[in-house]
């Protein structure tokens, strides 16, 4: 990632905030629950908006319809101005002076080009450092409203076959969606909460090989944060060791109603489970539907190829691989002029703000 430096005192700083609720800082830190972050939408809080509006890398302007030349702000919408940096969008609401940031931080790391590689914790730290270097934005300034996390994995099956055999998630059907930026993917939507997506990222980017992408887009971060009992800002998520990300992604995959492609389809009784309409017939009876759900799980493992569990293990191993980074503290000091603790790491300088999450 090519960075543009502003020459601040923390130009080489590590912006990852470590969990130190008891003010006792361990000499080693290993994350367990980090899952690569992707799309984020966040409100900038406790932040100097004027500093951003005058930033040399941003040009805030009113959105214009290129065909008509008219301002895009509809009459019933609050007036705003937009600025773009690579794939990031900054939206400034002139009436309230609120600013929202949105876009993929994974794509940002790759200079706005792609997100098909593994986005590990050090890469996240690099992105956070760049946000600080360019815009003065720290993790504590980002009050999350939406967040997406997921993995890219190689599997010993055709991705298209796996996608075709994912029927639903918690009885929400997987439907095919086409997007100009993301291409074609399948999703199960739990309205006002979250969306699960599964697709072939290798096909999307023309990689020449299959790459399964499985991700969760949390449409209501507040709902997720309350459930996990963590704060809404990005620094609170990091300090909690990314609480809930690993568990939710693995649970969501395990909950998918999946028809194993290795099942012998000549058996009509087993083949009926492949038909989404079969499950719709039991929509009024939770007990009967759950009975057949458990039976299909058993068939997948005993008669099928246990494909869902195999992919579960691949996802789990990928997450473990991405959590292998061990961070070692060398020493720490205090900045007497502020309430900021500066911790020197092998990666650089850690800025920890004494703030409760």
pLDDT tens-digit readout, 23-32? 443 445 678 9
What value does the mean pLDDT take over residues 263-286? Answer: 86
> Half-sphere exposure of residue 143, counting CA atoms within 13 Å on the CB side?
9
The pLDDT confidence band at residue 352, using thresholds 50, 70 and 90, is very low
How confident is the model at residue 45, as a pLDDT? 97
What value does the mean pLDDT take over residues 4-18? Answer: 48
The answer to which of 82-91, 127-136, 281-290 has the lowest mean pLDDT is 281-290
Q: Return the percentage of the chain with pLDDT > 70, whole number.
A: 78
pTM comes to 0.85
Task: Answer for the pair 325, 199: CB distance below 8 angstroms, yes or no.
Answer: no
Place of tokens 């020449």: 208
The pLDDT confidence band at residue 73, using thresholds 50, 70 and 90, is low
The pLDDT confidence band at residue 3, using thresholds 50, 70 and 90, is low
What value does the mean pLDDT take over residues 157-172? Answer: 96
Q: What are the C-alpha distances in Å from 128 to residues 13, 55, 76, 237, 357?
A: 9, 17, 35, 14, 19
Helix, strand, coil: what percent of the chain each, to 5? 30, 30, 40
The burial of 136, by beta-carbon neighbours within 10 Å (0-12 exposed, 13-18 middle, 19 or more buried), is given as middle
Q: What value does the mean pLDDT of the chain take?
A: 84
How confident is the model at residue 20, as a pLDDT? 35
Task: Answer for the pair 332, 24: CB distance below 8 angstroms, yes or no.
Answer: no
């Amino acid at each position: 990632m090519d960075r543009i430096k502003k020459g601040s005192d923390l130009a080489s700083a590590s912006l990852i905030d470590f969990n130190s609720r008891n003010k006792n800082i361990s000499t080693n830190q290993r994350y367990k629950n980090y899952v690569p972050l992707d799309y984020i939408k966040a409100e900038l809080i406790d932040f100097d908006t004027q500093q951003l509006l005058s930033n040399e890398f941003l040009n805030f302007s009113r959105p214009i319809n290129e065909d008509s030349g008219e301002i895009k702000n509809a009459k019933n919408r609050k007036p705003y101005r937009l600025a773009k940096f690579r794939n990031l969008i900054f939206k400034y609401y002139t009436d309230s002076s609120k600013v929202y940031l949105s876009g993929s931080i994974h794509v940002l790391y790759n200079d706005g080009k792609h997100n098909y590689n593994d986005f590990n914790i050090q890469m996240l730290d690099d992105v956070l450092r760049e946000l600080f270097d360019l815009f003065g934005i720290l993790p504590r300034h980002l009050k999350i409203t939406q967040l997406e996390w997921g993995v890219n994995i190689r599997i010993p099956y055709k991705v298209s076959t796996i996608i075709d055999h994912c029927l639903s998630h918690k009885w929400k059907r997987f439907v095919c969606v086409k997007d100009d930026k993301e291409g074609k993917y399948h999703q199960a939507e739990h309205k006002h909460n979250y969306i699960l997506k599964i697709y072939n990222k290798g096909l999307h980017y023309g990689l020449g090989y299959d790459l399964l992408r499985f991700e969760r887009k949390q449409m209501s971060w507040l709902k997720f944060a309350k459930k996990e009992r963590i704060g809404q800002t990005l620094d609170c998520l990091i300090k909690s060791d990314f609480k809930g990300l690993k568990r939710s992604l693995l649970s969501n995959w395990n909950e998918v109603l999946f028809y194993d492609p290795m099942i012998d389809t000549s058996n009509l009784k087993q083949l009926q489970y492949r038909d989404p309409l079969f499950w719709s017939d039991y929509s009024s009876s939770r007990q009967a539907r759950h009975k057949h759900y458990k039976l299909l799980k058993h068939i997948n493992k005993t008669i099928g190829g246990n494909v869902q569990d195999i992919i579960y293990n691949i996802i789990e191993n990928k997450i473990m691989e991405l959590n292998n980074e061990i961070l070692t503290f060398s020493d720490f000091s205090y900045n007497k002029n502020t309430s900021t603790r500066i911790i020197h790491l092998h990666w650089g300088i850690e800025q920890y703000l004494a703030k409760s999450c």
